[in-house]
Amino acid sequence: MAATSETIELTVEGEQIAGTLLTLQERMPGILFVHGWGGSQTRDMMRAKGIAGLGCVCLTFDLRGHEKTRVQQQTVTRGHNLEDILVAYDRLVAHPAVDPSRIAVIGTSYGGYLAAILTTLRPVRWLAMRVPALYWDEQWNLPKQQLDRDQLMRYRQSLLGPLDNRALGACATFEGDVLIVESEHDEHVPHETIMSYRSSCRKAHSMTHRIIDGADHGLSSERCQQAYTSILTSWITEMIIGDRVGHLT
């Protein structure tokens, strides 16, 4: 890592002695968290605090239609929420401590789906998706709450590919590192959906797929929450340390 040096003077008992202050020039990775439909940034903040300790700048936020803007939940569309993510991404990258070439996006369910699409609109180095959902490309501007849930479940139970879906198409062109975390007993995102995502990541630099045994979609037990935290933190640590080693060699 390159370092800048600054010559300084230290005053001791009225006398000056010379010193040199060394500062690393390297900027830090940026981590963007995207929560799922009906969720909030609360859980993300807990995990972000641990990941920030690795030497990262983390950003969590609430999508429109959630928390303080819950009144919009009946009218917000996928397009609106994708725009939310783009604004959050740009704010993260604008932080002076962030290296814009080292951005990770961590999305859950609906947030994982939108995070995949984000990779075609902004540079992303690492993509983590927990129980990523799938939605057909049609009705993009229909309020998300109005999408037919039974039809969605049938759609997700089909094995789909990059030509069938915008998010899967994004995964097919993504060349960074990917983490997919599946819940064993997911009532909203079936195994077929996970495999559609996994098989679409054809150009990924690396692919990590983990299953949380006994977990439901929302990780309702504390054991499952802790399991996911462990999986995510270990993966992010591996990615960041490996990247730093690469910078040194």
Confidence (pLDDT) at 242:
79
Q: Enter the tokens of residue 19.
A: 């010193």
Q: How far apart are CA 233 and CA 46, in angstroms?
A: 12
Confidence (pLDDT) at 244:
63
Strand ranges (E), the chain: 3-12, 15-24, 28-34, 57-59, 98-108, 126-130, 177-183, 206-212
pTM of this structure = 0.89
Q: What is the pLDDT of residues 76-113, one digit of tens each?
A: 999 999 999 999 999 999 998 999 999 999 999 999 99
Is residue 61 scored above 60 in pLDDT?
Answer: yes
Packing angle of the helix pair 110-118, 166-173 (nearest 10 deg): 50
Is residue 73 scored above 90 in pLDDT?
Answer: yes
Is residue 241 scored above 90 in pLDDT?
Answer: no
> Where residue 160 falls among pLDDT bands split at 50, 70, 90?
very high
Mean pLDDT, range 44-57, rounded to an integer: 92
Confidence (pLDDT) at 248:
44
Domain 28-248 in CATH 3.40.50.1820: yes
> Where residue 177 falls among pLDDT bands split at 50, 70, 90?
very high
Task: Report the chain's mean pLDDT, rounded to a whole number.
Answer: 93
Q: What is the pLDDT of residues 112-128, one digit of tens each?
A: 999 999 999 999 999 99
Mean pLDDT, range 146-154, rounded to an integer: 97
Q: What is the pLDDT of residues 210-236, one digit of tens each?
A: 999 999 999 999 999 999 999 999 999
Is residue 157 scored above 90 in pLDDT?
Answer: yes
Mean pLDDT, range 158-164, rounded to an integer: 96
> Where residue 14 falls among pLDDT bands split at 50, 70, 90?
confident
CB neighbours of residue 59 within 10 Å:
19
Beta-carbon contacts of residue 69 (< 8 Å; ≥ 6 apart): 62
Confidence (pLDDT) at 249:
47
Domain boundaries, the chain: 28-248
**What is the percent of the chain where pLDDT is above 70?**
95
Confidence (pLDDT) at 17:
74
What is the phi/psi pair of residue 152, to 5°? -60, -40
Encoded amino acid at 227, one letter:
A
Confidence (pLDDT) at 247:
53
Q: Enter the tokens of residue 106.
A: 């961590």
Confidence (pLDDT) at 27:
86
**What is the percent of the chain where pLDDT is above 90?**
82
